[in-house]
Amino acid sequence: MPQGFYLGPLIFLVLINDLTAGCLLRKFVDDTTLSEIIPKGETCSNMSSSVEDILHWSQCNLMNINWNKTKELVLGSDLDKKFCQELCADGNIVERVSVFKLLGVS
């Protein structure tokens, strides 16, 4: 499909409609955001499993993940960041950042 084709965004949304993961998922055009709330007092994250779900889906649907644009942001005043393991998938370490722009949100 040619870039700029007016039905392109609609067709892309149909293609990714079945994309799911074991966490909160937000899709905006060609960007997907995974979110996880870790209850107070817990230090375990299930984000690795959710990223593996996304990776499996992308491989089955012949779509590539741009690991250079994939970021991790950890928020919380009482979340001790030293307990948060690096997020890795498919041999790639996801860069942890302190700020990023969430597309689709002003």
In which band, very low, low, confident or very high, does the pLDDT at 77 lie, cut at 50, 70 and 90?
low
Closest residue by Cα to residue 48 from 6, 94, 11: 94
What confidence score (pLDDT) does residue 54 get? 92
Percent of the chain whose predicted confidence (pLDDT) is above 70: 88
Q: Is 21's pLDDT higher than 70?
A: yes
Give the start-to-end residue ranges of the domains of the chain. 8-97
Distances (CA, A) of 52 to 9, 59, 103: 25, 10, 22
C-alpha span between 97 and 18 (Å, rounded): 28
Summarize pLDDT for 42-67 with one digit per residue, the tens.
Answer: 777 888 899 999 999 999 999 889 99
| Residue 54 burial (CB count, 10 A) | 21
Q: How many CA atoms does the CB half-sphere of 68 hold within 13 Å?
A: 0
